[in-house]
Amino acid sequence: MSEPEVDLDAEKYEKHREAGRILAQVRDEAAERLEVGMGYLEISEWAEDRIRELGGTPAFPVNVSVDEEAAHGAAGPGDERTVGEEMVKLDIGVHIDGWLADTAVTVDFSGNPELVEAAEEALDAALETVEPGVETGTIGAAIEEVIDGYGYNPVVNLTGHGLGHWEQHVSPNIPNRAVKQGTTLEVGDVVAIEPFATDGSGKVSEGQQEEIYSLEREASVRDRNARKALEQITEEFQTLPFATRWLDVSRPNMALRRLKSQNIVHGYPVLKEDDGKLVSQKEHTIIVTEDGCEVTTASQ
């Protein structure tokens, strides 16, 4: 029995594309705008506001991860941290009615351009492998080969991922190294491919800082402030990640502690390279097509 044909002109794909167009513009403008001395909160709020100006909605808080931080770095309420002579990863997402795009770029002020190039070229190599029927392990092998060629290591316990409706991480995972058993991509799959390169051993672990959360389950809450926060989360963010600073309650950290203690929300701790070494990242969202892929977050 033949597989049903996928209509890549359907409304959901058009919303994926529109999210990608907005996101590509914001990513490029934010990367150009970023400079040493700029606040984490300033660049994050600027990018999130720009997304809204262009007709989208942030799919998750802007990630500002520096040096050994690979992911989930984010500005907190009243954050006074500023960018130094560091390797900065900006990871940004947009959705249109829950249909997502996800992208990342490394802006380097640390003087390590080859580490940045390794992730960029690894992504290019990965995109060249994509077509219907390709195994995700093949994509990972292309990423690993390029990064190895630069003398660096891929971060092996971080992966690319599928993008669902109101879901930022769904199957399939896209590894950053060769694996024997993977998933076969099909026409219509929407996935984010995101190589991470490091001059460390290539593994990350959870740090202490946590500013990003998402809804785990709905439940009754006795505390008034926490209940108000939960109402906003379920109505405004649904299952997508949100920032502490996005909550319109008087004591957001306290509200989140209560919700977390009841397993109503879960947090995303900052992920750090185990050896404390630099990490670079580059990410695009793609739609798998009959003859390859369409990069929805390509620069215009």
pLDDT at res. 157? 95
The residue annotated as part of the active site, out of 48, 69, 189, 194, is 194
Q: Does the pLDDT at position 2 exceed 50?
A: no
- State the maximum Cα–Cα separation within the chain, in Å, rounded to a whole number: 60
pLDDT at res. 300? 83
The residue annotated as part of the active site, out of 135, 165, 169, 223, is 169
Mean pLDDT of 211-216: 97
Domain 207-270 in CATH 3.40.50.300: no
Q: Does the pLDDT at position 1 exceed 50?
A: no
| pLDDT digits 0-9 by tens, 233-288 | 999 999 999 999 999 999 999 999 999 999 999 999 999 999 999 999 999 999 99
The residue annotated as part of the active site, out of 144, 161, 189, 273, is 161
| Domain boundaries for CATH 3.90.230.10 within the chain | 11-206+276-295
CATH no., domain 11-206+276-295: 3.90.230.10
| pLDDT digits 0-9 by tens, 93-146 | 999 999 999 999 999 999 999 999 999 999 999 999 999 999 999 999 999 999
For the chain, strand residue ranges (E) read 57-66, 69-71, 87-96, 99-108, 153-154, 160-164, 167-174, 190-193, 196-198, 204-215, 242-243, 265-273, 279-281, 284-289, 292-295
| Domain boundaries for CATH 1.10.10.10 within the chain | 207-270
283 catalytic per annotation: yes
